[in-house]
């Protein structure tokens, strides 16, 4: 393929774009900006479709499973949700926001059709059911207090990456701050798999990972520059 270098996105002052998310169809990309901004762009041209502003510093963004919403969070510990379909209007207020119960800085987000996973700097991953949102009067102007359906506490350092597989049956969790700090969570039981990784799994410091489109494989990138490929035998598809 061809690699194209984009000197600048719109007229934004950011010098680097280190955290991003792509929607399910690959048509839009969301970037973490400075000063609490999140940007939504066309994937091919990187034309800016709209910007959203949250309180505090934005640390992470994620699209909803259906692609109609963008979620963001960061230093204030709140999770913000905006309607992508309103990008062409002047309405940029979040349609919903809630306080992550952990209370610390939010480092990562992942969204399936059923669950929103929120990873914090403390190492806790809270799982929230998407259908439990309270949209009462003036829901956009207040911060909702919510209880997670489950808190995953198997890691003790900042949760840098979260990812659901295509079916939403597995949530992968990792931290760059500790060697071999990666776990797989089974859903909907919200229990951590005990048989992987083992003490002999050579993960190293996990910097990135992703599932293949049909969940047949899990690729893990580490600090050694290696990409480790693991076969998920539960899924029959080659990819």
The pLDDT profile of the chain, 239 residues, written as one tens digit per residue, is 787 777 788 888 998 898 999 999 999 999 999 999 999 999 988 899 999 999 999 999 999 999 999 999 999 999 999 999 888 665 578 888 999 998 899 999 999 999 999 999 999 999 999 876 655 444 455 678 889 999 999 999 999 999 999 999 999 999 999 999 999 999 989 999 999 999 999 999 999 999 999 999 999 999 999 999 999 998 987 77
pLDDT of residue 4: 76
The two three-digit tokens of residue 109, written as one number: 């987000």
217, 239 Cβ separation under 8 angstroms? yes
The rounded distance, in Å, linking the Cα atoms of 10 and 36 is 17
24, 63 Cβ separation under 8 angstroms? yes
Burial class (CB in 10 A: 0-12, 13-18, 19+), 111: buried
The rounded distance, in Å, linking the Cα atoms of 170 and 163 is 8
> pTM of the full predicted structure?
0.91
Q: What is the DSSP string of 45-72?
A: T--EEEEEE-SS-EEEEEE-TTSSEEEE
Bridge partners (DSSP) of residue 51 are: 39
120, 107 Cβ separation under 8 angstroms? yes
Pairing of strands 28-32, 161-164: unpaired
Alpha carbon dihedral 112, 193, 183, 24, in 10-degree steps, equals -20
30, 80 Cβ separation under 8 angstroms? no
Sheet holding 58-63, edge to edge: 58-63, 69-74, 78-83, 96-99, 144-145
């Amino acid at each position: 393929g061809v690699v194209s270098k984009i000197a600048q996105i719109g007229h934004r002052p950011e010098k680097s774009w280190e955290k991003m998310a792509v929607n399910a169809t690959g048509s839009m990309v969301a970037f973490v900006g400075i000063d609490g901004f999140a940007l939504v762009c066309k994937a091919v041209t990187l034309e800016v479709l709209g910007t959203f502003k949250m309180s505090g510093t934005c640390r992470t963004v994620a699209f909803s499973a259906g692609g109609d919403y963008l979620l963001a969070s960061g230093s204030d510990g709140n999770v913000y949700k905006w309607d992508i379909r309103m990008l062409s209007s002047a309405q940029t207020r979040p349609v919903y926001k809630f306080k992550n119960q952990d209370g610390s800085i939010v480092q990562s987000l992942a969204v399936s059709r059923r669950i929103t996973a929120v990873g914090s700097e403390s190492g806790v991953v809270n799982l929230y059911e998407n259908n439990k949102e309270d949209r009462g009067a003036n829901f956009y102007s207040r911060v909702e207090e919510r209880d997670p359906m489950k808190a995953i506490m198997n890691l003790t350092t900042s949760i840098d990456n979260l990812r659901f597989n295509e079916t939403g049956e597995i949530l992968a969790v990792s931290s760059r701050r500790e060697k071999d700090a990666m776990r797989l969570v089974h859903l909907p039981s919200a229990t951590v798999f005990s048989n992987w990784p083992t003490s002999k799994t050579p993960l190293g410091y996990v910097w990135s990972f992703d599932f293949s489109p049909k969940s047949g494989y899990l690729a893990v990138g580490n600090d050694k520059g290696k990409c480790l490929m693991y076969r998920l035998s539960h899924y029959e598809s080659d990819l």
